[in-house]
Amino acid sequence: MERSRSTENLLPITSIQSGSGVEIAPDVYCYTVQVANVFFIGNPTTSNEWVLIDAGMPHAANKILEAAEKRFGPEHQLKAIILTHGHFDHVGSLIDILEQYKVPVYAHPLEFSYLKGITDYPKPDTTVEGGLLAKMSGIFPVKAIDISAHLHELPSDGSVPTMPGWQSIHTPGHSAGHVSLFREQDRLLIAGDAFVTVKQDSLYKVLRQKKEIHGPPVYFTTDWRAAWESVCKLADLKPSIAATGHGKPMTGAALAKGLVDLAENFQKTAVPAHGKYVHTK
């Protein structure tokens, strides 16, 4: 991977809960590095095996692995990595982790060209309506990484390797191969960036991590119609708990109402008024 440390070091985005974790089920731990969440799947009271969902911001591998050691012990065994999508804030530490743990990485095939070093992501839309973060997004890395040696397709039947009881749901829009992960048994949803629980486009709200449901981060979202359909699909699941790529996990009435509101008013509240990926008809 080509690194541009000088640029990355300039990213002034660290939320106040950076580097902390919260258990949202006995076997689901949400760990926040800077502004991005990663998830540890595995119950430390019964096993030291675990699965990592997403790989956070660049230069966070040690923090993620230290947190895993704290949770699963020094002999912890990472079995696989599942990606909701391939944006830099979800794969930032992937290569560093794979250097230490040669595990399979599962993603939707529509993300593959970005994960095999073939195409770079579409450039973030810095002109989009949406405040300072959108303006800053021009310095976010979009360079494709190449993890071909580890990469596998998520099965098309929705099953998730190494995660029995979970299903992957294709939720495109924010990116073409975006997936969300859902477990029927406790209606737990890991939604990646299909929607988020913090207004990602307000630097102030990102730093304070005020909890509220919003559409996907605008500067990277390239297909708003698909993004809306994906939010409707996820609202229909009626999750009891939802954790997203950014912001804190949400439950109960705030989640249910927030999701329905977002699905019903998507065009008004989530789709920016203007931007290069926004097509008004």
Query: Quick one: 245 or 272, whose CB is closer to Zn ion?
Result: 245
Distance of closest approach, residue 205 Cβ to Zn ion, in angstroms: 15
Q: Is 193 in the site for Zn ion (CB under 5 A)?
A: yes
State the nearest-atom distance from the C-beta of 88 to Zn ion, in Å.
8
Site size with Zn ion, rule: CB under 5 A: 5
Quote the radius of gyration of the chain (alpha carbons, Å): 17
Q: How far is the CB of 86 from Zn ion (least distance, A)?
A: 8
Distance CA 57, CA 35 (A): 8
Q: Which residues contact 257 (CB under 8 A, 6 or more apart)?
A: none
Per-residue contact string for residues 16-55; x = within reach of Zn ion by CB under 5 A? ----------------------------------------
Pick 166 or 220: Cβ nearer Zn ion: 220
| Closer of 191 and 235 to Zn ion (Cβ) | 191
List, in order, residues 6 or more apart from 226 with CB less than 8 Å away. 172, 173
* Residue 63 region by backbone torsions, left for phi larger than 0, else alpha for psi between -120 and 50, else beta: alpha
CB 50 within 8 A of CB 40: yes
Helices 252-264 & 224-236 angle (0-180, nearest 10): 140
**CA nearest 156: which of 177, 137, 131?**
177
- Our CB check for Zn ion shows the closer of 76 and 87 to be 87
Tell the smallest beta-carbon distance from residue 243 to Zn ion (Å).
Answer: 13
Cβ-proximal residues to 218 (8 Å cutoff; 6+ apart), any chain: 125, 128, 129, 130, 134, 200, 201, 272, 275
* Separation CA 42–CA 109 (nearest Å): 25
Residues in the chain: 281
Residue 111 or 193 having the CB closest to Zn ion: 193
Quote the Cα angle for 144-150-153, to 5°: 85
- Which CB, 17 or 48, lies closer to Zn ion? 17
Least distance in angstroms from the C-beta of 197 to Zn ion: 12
Fill in the per-residue mask, 226 to 255: x = in contact with Zn ion (CB under 5 A), - = not in contact. -------------------x----------
Q: Does 125 bind Zn ion (CB under 5 A)?
A: no
Which residues on adjacent β-strands are paired with residue 29? 23, 40
Q: Judged by CB under 5 A, which stretch of 16-24, 193-201, 231-239, 255-263 contacts Zn ion? A: 193-201
Task: Report 65-104 residues binding Zn ion (CB under 5 A).
Answer: 87, 89
Residue 31 or 220: which CB sits closer to Zn ion? 220
Give the interface with Zn ion as residue ranges (CB under 5 A).
87, 89, 193, 220, 245
